[in-house]
Amino acid sequence: MIRFENVSTTYPGQNRAALGNVNVDIEKGEFVFLVGASGSGKSTFLRLVLREARPNHGRVYVAGKEINRMASWKVPALRRKIGTVFQDFRLLPNKTVAENVAFALQVIGKPKSHINLVVPETLELVGLEGKGDRMPDEISGGEQQRVAIARAFVNRPQILIADEPTGNLDPETSVGIMKLLDRINRTGTTVLMATHDAGIVDQMRKRVIELSDGTVVRDQSRGVYGFQH
Ligand SMILES: Nc1ncnc2c1ncn2[C@@H]1O[C@H](COP(=O)(O)OP(=O)(O)OP(=O)(O)O)[C@@H](O)[C@H]1O
């Protein structure tokens, strides 16, 4: 589902590679944690999958396509296959919970009848039934992250990318978010999550890929967080 072949990339004006000769193969339906110290290259890895950044060398394949040779007009279709969730939720503050989720479908031209059907379904899936009419500032941080996950998942993407999704949440709320990501993974969605949350990684025992100074230093199935920072 995601394959990096000898991928190296250096940001303009930098003399050190953000990623150097990375080889990774992630199968459909896997749950993968990306760990490593700050600056080790996790966000760069995720940006390459979304084609928000491009490698200087090597190839990145997503859902069977080499995405760096893909024409730019095809990039929106690529990104529709990938849901994204961030540490800071990124909800639209002037839209209700349901409108935030619906908006993701409106912008890709889905018919109203479809939206009216799947938005409540998805809110129920993430445990927010009955909260569709609330504004983002009327719900907790954990609930806001659930809205962000509903928005990322409402179009049933093949891949869900989560960049520090529990970074702003207390440990108990984080466990709830991880249960939800696990449930989404069990529907067949490939989940790739960058995190500094050692407790979560140790508890979930999923595949762990560790980056250090832009290279893969560990790729472990049923892994642990395993390093100090
Ligand atoms: N836009 C940019 N321009 C120049 N250098 C960058 C840029 N973004 C990242 N870098 C550099 O690339 C390297 C990898 O950074 P990256 O953001 O991928 O790390 P990270 O593991 O995601 O860090 P964090 O855990 O702090 O989010 C670092 O040396 C960083 O300074």
- Establish if 6 belongs to a structural domain: no
User: 107: Cβ–Cβ under 8 A, 6 or more apart, which residues?
Assistant: none
- Establish if 110 belongs to a structural domain: yes
- Establish if 178 belongs to a structural domain: no
Q: Which domain holds residue 131?
A: 93-155
CA of 18 from ligand 1 middle (Å) equals 7
Taking only the tens place, the pLDDT of each residue in 169-210 is 999 999 999 999 999 999 999 999 999 999 999 999 999 999
Q: How confident is the model at residue 228 (pLDDT cuts 50, 70, 90)?
A: low
Q: In which residue are the tokens 């472990």 written?
A: 220
In this structure, are residues 222 and 207 in contact, taking their beta carbons and an 8 Å threshold?
Answer: yes
Q: What is the mean pLDDT of the chain?
A: 96
Provide the CA 100 distance to its chain's centre, in angstroms.
18
Q: Whose CA is nearest to atom 24 of ligand 1?
A: 38
Atom of ligand 1 nearest to the CA of 40: 21
Measured between its terminal Cα atoms, the distance across the chain in Å is 30
pLDDT, average across residues 108-131: 96
- Establish if 63 belongs to a structural domain: no
- Establish if 144 belongs to a structural domain: yes
- The tally of domains found in the chain comes to 1
pLDDT value of residue 68? 92
Element containing residue 211 per DSSP (H, E): strand 207-212
- Establish if 26 belongs to a structural domain: no
pTM of the model: 0.95
- Establish if 141 belongs to a structural domain: yes
- Establish if 109 belongs to a structural domain: yes
